[in-house]
Amino acid sequence: MNNPVHFTINNGASKLACGMAFPVKGGRKGLLAEMLKIDAFTIRFDSSPAFHKRLESFLKENNLRYYRAKSGAPEIDFRIEADGRVLYADCTNQNGGGSVEEKLPHKLWKYANRYKYDSVTIIRGKHKPSKHVMDHCFDVAEMKNFELHMLDYEQFVHSLLNKQSLNPLGI
């Protein structure tokens, strides 16, 4: 099965965020345009690898020790050494709603079982998960007895640089 391709379609007047499972090969743009009944459009892919690379560059520039999971590995994205402890962080560069966010509670449950962490940070894109998903995530955190932080990239790096405690809601 193909991995979902996340993109935004911009046809001038409006944008439509989509996530579909299909191979992106030559000629598919025409087929997709026909399926969506639009004439001309551009596709902007949400680049999770670029999001990971951005964080990794920050960690290197600031001489922070870390381990980064290989792309596609079934493990948490980053384990970062800071102030004598390990920070667990996972990047979810989602810039729009959809079914991807609904996988977040299971990801938290799976990683809590694997790493037995007492705290984890989800570094999110511009999109804040729905209240329903956030409630589910905090239920998992309470059940598995860990502290959950949901921050955007800037909030996360600010907290690392200033060695401040992380605000769970990134507010």
CA–CA distances in Å: residue 39 to residues 9, 42, 90: 11, 10, 37
Q: Are 79 and 86 in contact (CB under 8 A)?
A: yes
**Helix (H) or strand (E) segment spanning residue 111:** helix 104-115
Averaged pLDDT score across all residues of the chain: 73
pLDDT range class, residue 93, cuts 50, 70, 90: low
Each residue of 41-72: pLDDT tens digit? 333 334 467 788 889 999 999 899 999 998 88
User: Domains in the chain, start-ordered, CATH in brackets?
Assistant: 5-45 (no CATH), 48-162 (3.40.91.30)
Single pTM value for the model? 0.66
- Residue 79: strand, helix, or coil: strand
Q: How many helices (H) and strands (E) are present in the chain, helices listed first? A: 5, 8
Write phi, then psi, for 68 (nearest 5 degrees). Answer: -115, 130
